[in-house]
Structure 1
Amino acid sequence: MTIANYINDLLYRYDCVIVPDFGGFITNRIGAKINTENHSFYPPTKQLMFNSHLKHNDGLLANYIASSENISFEKAATAISLCVIKWKNELQSSSIHIDNIGMLSLNEEKQLVFEPNTANNYLTASFGLASFESSSISRATNSKLVVPILQKEEKKGVPAFIKYAATAAILLTLGFVSYNGYDNYQEEQHFANQQKALEKKIQTATFVISNPLPTLELNVSKEISKPFHVVAGAFQYVENAEKKVKELKAKGYDSKIIGTNKWGLTQVSFNSYSNRYKATNELYKIQDTVSKDAWLLIK
């Protein structure tokens, strides 16, 4: 059983995959880019990061392994724990390579350093799109226009009666066109005058309603979506969850019940945020000062 394969599968579907007691792999969407120096075009992608503080077991990885391998949740969790122990032992002496995900190593301060595999794009919307280079387009400057010179044709004699007939036809045509143009102009002017008169009547008209309806004042508050929740715990009984909410509100947190998980446990949050980075920063503060078991839920 290769844990890396299951992490790789989940990164296509979720923004965060946590390996219990080890850390979390987080994806962040980046739009298409253009490198003007080498004329390279890059499709939208998901930037992969690693956060060693996200160690709480949210059950996502273990549940996916259990359903894929057709084994119990406990066996899947045990397999993850064994893999984490192996990774930690290898990190003491060398770096470890996680297939299709990236490289992990320890720096001089014994902190984990992650180098993602940029060749793998976890954004499903960009499936089949690859980066490419385009040749530069050079535009000519101070170009000279070459104007062809037409050679004059030799003049040929034209009978006089043909000249007079052509002149008469041209004069008749010009007169007919001038008359039609003048007639059309008169019609357009008449229509424009009627249009202006109608607009003037509409502007000066006064509408009186004897029994007007009363005006209604509606106070509409736009609710901002807050999908990032710093979870304080999950409780089997709703009474315990409500008690926890009151306790956290007394400490100044905007605590609330955010629903139940797939195991039927009622989840309670410290706070909820619309921004991932604010939620992550608050999570670190809470883990350092209030509860190490706090974790981030994205709904």
Structure 2
Amino acid sequence: MNYRLAEQITFLLLRHHYVVVPQLGGFIREVLPASYNADKAIAYPPSAELHFNQELTHSDGLLEERYALLLGLSLRRARLVLEEEVKQLRHALIQMGTIELPGIGTLQMSASGVVSFVPQPSSPATLGASYGYTSLTLPRLAQQQMIEMIETAEVARTAPREKGDYILLRFSKRALGYAAAVAFVALSLIPWGRGAESERSYQAGFTPTSYSAEQLFGTATLEEKKPEVVDIPQEQGLQYCSEQDNRYHIIIATEPTKERLESYYKQAVSELGTKDIQAYCSRTGKVIRLSVASFDSSDAAYTFLNSFVKEHPSYSTAWVFRNN
């Protein structure tokens, strides 16, 4: 159904992170980082996943410009052609309940009018080969070879330096002997013992006896006061979960590292005023998604998403993810 619209959406997704289809929704391309399979010794290039957000209905102008360039029309006439094709697409979706966009995925509409999306696994917009990337075989070095490399580096580090790095001074043995004799005579003339005796007598005059100390300070002892230990309750941080609960989650952020996700979590807690936010690791372990809520059905999830983005416009790019 409407292959031209699907082809142009794919064309734009290869060059942009998301594309908005007016009066239908937005297709989002989530970038996944490169990975390495140690068992197969293969390095996989970056890839992507496609998602759909029904709330992104305001046109971003990408499809209009593409249609105008493709058909040789003005932006106004290209917008009319695009609106007609989207109208036909929505009409077919309402009648059949499901429609397939070649190279992208399948759109499904529930009885309440909520549109869900199932991406196509081999979509050109998600494959690394579409961007010129390919998998590489990177076998690990053998243990003996690694040991030899470490030993070679250690030998190079501890090897003696060239003579040009040092300053060499030559002294006569007779001159060194004269210098040692003069130093010995000079040290022998220093009155070492007299100063020590006067210092000892001086110190002894100020050392109080035990009897005098008792008269001055008494015999009472001070009790050692231990500092009080106060238990400070620790705040619970972001909870991470890796199990597949088959629920529909409202995702507000996707990051490859925990450090960057923690910053999104702190911002969301301050803006939304709730700490019921959890992080879910993907099955591949490449990305971590931040979920503000989860539901058993897609209808309930999309209903919550509609009210959520209206209440918090800064999270208009949130989308529904099924954790299975």
Asked whether the two chains share a fold, i.e. TM above 0.5, the reply is no
Higher RCO structure (Cα 8 Å, ≥6 apart): 2
If the length of structure 1 is used for normalisation, what is the TM-score? 0.42
> Which structure has the highest helix share of the two?
2
